[in-house]
Structure 1
């Protein structure tokens, strides 16, 4: 049985009409009428006599009300208690995310506006954590990850652009093909020990030696902004710098790969209230977009 329809049924009897119920609950009359009709169809009984002055429960409707209204009221009260508990959420949430990961920072900012008593400590790094050993409640990482001890949820797709400082292009010229990047100094993300990076645009791949590499995206961005090298940086940063004419986009006609951002949290059966509410908040934000 639809509990939402049942609670609307109880509310209609308590308020005496569909219009008053709609006004009190902020639910359209058409929605209330449809839910009541579906409840009647499910139960195969008529619950209301429709009158000009409003609605009056039938004998069957009155009997159903007598049986369920206290339980429905208790459920609504319990829901309000849980809501109040969430509003009073208090404690510390420890998260980790890649440096300058603006989507995560935007979620954190909005979350703290809603729950001002929650303190958040953010470790901004791309290093892979052991969530338990490093005391991290929720981590955000680029690339799909799997493990027995954590849950991974995709929360965003991040785009990139290849850009260069105008002065660098004055010195070296502007590349017109992917292969011509071999003639330019490259700044890129790479792991320690790697000596080249594999670049893919459209269906073409090329391995390039680099001038500068780091496991920190902000270090790559610094070298690009200093005119030291061409680099691949996030759309969020690139769009801002291009607009300000600090950099120029390179090879804009070629499709660049996107990178998926995942939210990771421990797979324990009963997470803390703060972790649960934060995870639900982020998932709600991405479902709304």
Structure 2
């Protein structure tokens, strides 16, 4: 297979059209069109559906793109490493991370990584949705309790747990009474099952606020408007100084943050360096480490 033609096909697929790819690469549109046409002829497959205004990958084209995009990237990384005489991390590293982790810790992590690896151009975006790594060009994603994906591998680098907290001025309800609650999103459950040293119990809540981020929820709970479910790492300092009180741990599985990347034999030096950096920042992967790293 002609690797140049394959690289041109990936360029067009990544940019979604011959014109955009030509402008991005500074190459003639006609050359890219000819190369892709030759690749289609050699394979005996149609890789793109060519409409009047748009260009879409066929099913075969998408499969080829998903299987070869990372391989070509690995070839480039290997060639660059050999040319530079080593495996020094360099180049662009795109990461997608969830909102809470991004807001609380990712800025500090990114700064530390940039200082340690100045030749890596780190780009971090905040996404709570499950991004398509291949289609959207990410090298690594950080996700909370991700669903299994045969196309991705990775490791859990940090663990947390959910607790119910409230202002010390808010009395804990008894019996069938409900406590005012701060919910994250309209789908928040109104009955929380908690466990304490005294055993298991149930707390009923009546949402008085519905907010979209956990940072907003924490700030509202600090103000005394109601109780809420929050990660222990986010309220460790508040519990220590008495700003908030602990009503119990949620009787649910722990929360795990995973660093995921495409399943492949050769892992780029950039991704390996970032995974190692996360391990250095959170050596045991426990909630108290995140709380200490983030600070007050």
What range describes the TM-score normalised by the shorter chain of this pair?
A: 0.5 to 0.7
Matches within 5 A, 1:36-75: none
How far does the alpha carbon of each residue in 1:63-108 deviate from its partner, in whole angstroms, 9 at most, with x for none?
Answer: xxxxxxxxxxxxxxxxxx8997344x22222222223424655544
Counterpart in the other structure of 1:250: 246
Task: Please state how far the C-alpha of 1:215 moved relative to its aligned partner.
Answer: 4.7
Asked if the contact 1:187–1:211 (Cα under 8 Å) also holds between the matched residues in 2, the reply is yes
Query: What is the alpha-carbon root mean square deviation over aligned residues?
Result: 3.5
Asked if the contact 1:138–1:263 (Cα under 8 Å) also holds between the matched residues in 2, the reply is yes
Question: SS of the counterpart of 2:216?
Answer: helix
Asked if the contact 1:188–1:220 (Cα under 8 Å) also holds between the matched residues in 2, the reply is yes
Asked if the contact 1:199–1:205 (Cα under 8 Å) also holds between the matched residues in 2, the reply is yes
- What is the rounded CA distance, in whole Å, between the counterparts of 1:83 and 1:107 in structure 2? 27
Asked if the contact 2:162–2:249 (Cα under 8 Å) also holds between the matched residues in 1, the reply is no
Counterpart in the other structure of 2:136: 134
Q: Give the length in aligned residue pairs.
A: 197
Counterpart in the other structure of 1:118: 120
Counterpart in the other structure of 2:22: none
Counterpart in the other structure of 2:96: 96
Asked if the contact 1:175–1:250 (Cα under 8 Å) also holds between the matched residues in 2, the reply is no
- What is the rounded CA distance, in whole Å, between the counterparts of 2:190 and 2:264 in structure 1? 38
- Structure 2: which 5+ runs fail to align? 1-81, 286-296
Question: Larger Cα Rg: Structure 1 or Structure 2?
Answer: 1
- Structure 1: which 5+ runs fail to align? 1-80
Counterpart in the other structure of 1:188: 183
Distance 1:197 1:98, change over 3 A: farther
Matches within 5 A, 1:198-237: 198-202=191-195, 203-204=200-201, 208-237=205-234
Asked if the contact 2:167–2:245 (Cα under 8 Å) also holds between the matched residues in 1, the reply is no
Task: Please state how far the C-alpha of 1:232 moved relative to its aligned partner.
Answer: 2.2
Distance 1:83 1:249, change over 3 A: farther
Runs of 4+ with deviation above 6 angstroms: 81-84
